[in-house]
Every structure is written in structure tokens, then in C-alpha cells.
Amino acid sequence: MASRSLTTTAFLLTLNLLFFTLVSSTSCPPPPKAPKPHKHHHQKATCPKDTLKLGVCANVLNDLVHLVVGTPAKTPCCSLLGDLVDLEAAVCLCTAIKANVLGINLNVPVSLSLLLNYCGKKVPKGFQCA
């Protein structure tokens, strides 16, 4: 009987060891970290060009608005805007229109869109000439 008791105890001890080894070796990964909120630092866009030079766009815009027969010359207006991204081009033209550098009274959103499109640029989504 003593050997049977010893065998049972050894079996239970082995089973216990095996159980705790399996339980302790399986670790749960830590919970995922909460994503940090993105801080958007909106920088005010500026015009890298001399706004006074954009006065050359007045002739192009005048021809576009008054439906002059033929195609208005894209240079020098569009060449001034050519190396700018859409936002910079929009800011430059917006500044020129607001400062009345072009010398004509304009409907700002229409004029801006017309000139940008003519020069192969787009009005950035949500952009307002203010």
C-alpha cells in the first residue's frame, strides 16, 4: 500500500508540475496601446512669388472672362504659377485678386478657379480665398 500511495503522490506531483508549467508558459500579450491623437499643425500657406508680378494674369483673366475669340496666351501668367503646387498657386492668385493687383473688380471664387484651371492647377479642396 505504501508503494501505491507513493505512486499516486508522484503522479499527482508530476501532473501538478505539468499543469503549472503549461499555465505559466502561456503568456497573454499586453493590451494594445491607445493611438496617440495626431496633432495637425496647419501652417498658413504663403505665396513664394512676388505678388506684383501676377499682374500679368489680368490680361489672361480678362480674355477668359470676356470670351475673347482665340486662346489667351498662357505665358507669362501660367509660367509664374507652373512650379507651384496647387495650394501655393491658389494663395498667390488669391492675394493678387484681393490686393487688386490685377486692376479689375472680380468675383473672387470664379476668377480664382478660372485662372487656376487655365494654368493646369486645381483649387484645393476646402480652400477659401479669405
Per-range mean pLDDT, top range of 24-28, 43-47, 110-114: 110-114
Would 25 be classed as within a structural domain? no
Would 97 be classed as within a structural domain? yes
Would 24 be classed as within a structural domain? no
Q: How far apart are CA 123 and CA 97, in angstroms?
A: 15
* Residue ranges making up the domain that contains 62: 51-119
Q: How far apart are CA 114 and CA 90, in angstroms?
A: 11
Q: pLDDT at position 107, please?
A: 72
Please report, for the domain that includes residue 59, its CATH number: 1.10.110
Is the pTM value of this prediction over 0.85? no
Would 60 be classed as within a structural domain? yes
pLDDT digits (tens, 9 = 90+) for 97-111: 777 766 666 677 888
Contact status, residue 58 vs residue 27, Cβ threshold 8 Å: no
Name the maximum alpha-carbon separation found in the chain.
Answer: 117
pLDDT digits (tens, 9 = 90+) for 4-30: 777 888 776 675 665 666 666 666 677
Q: How far apart are CA 23 and CA 30, in angstroms?
A: 17
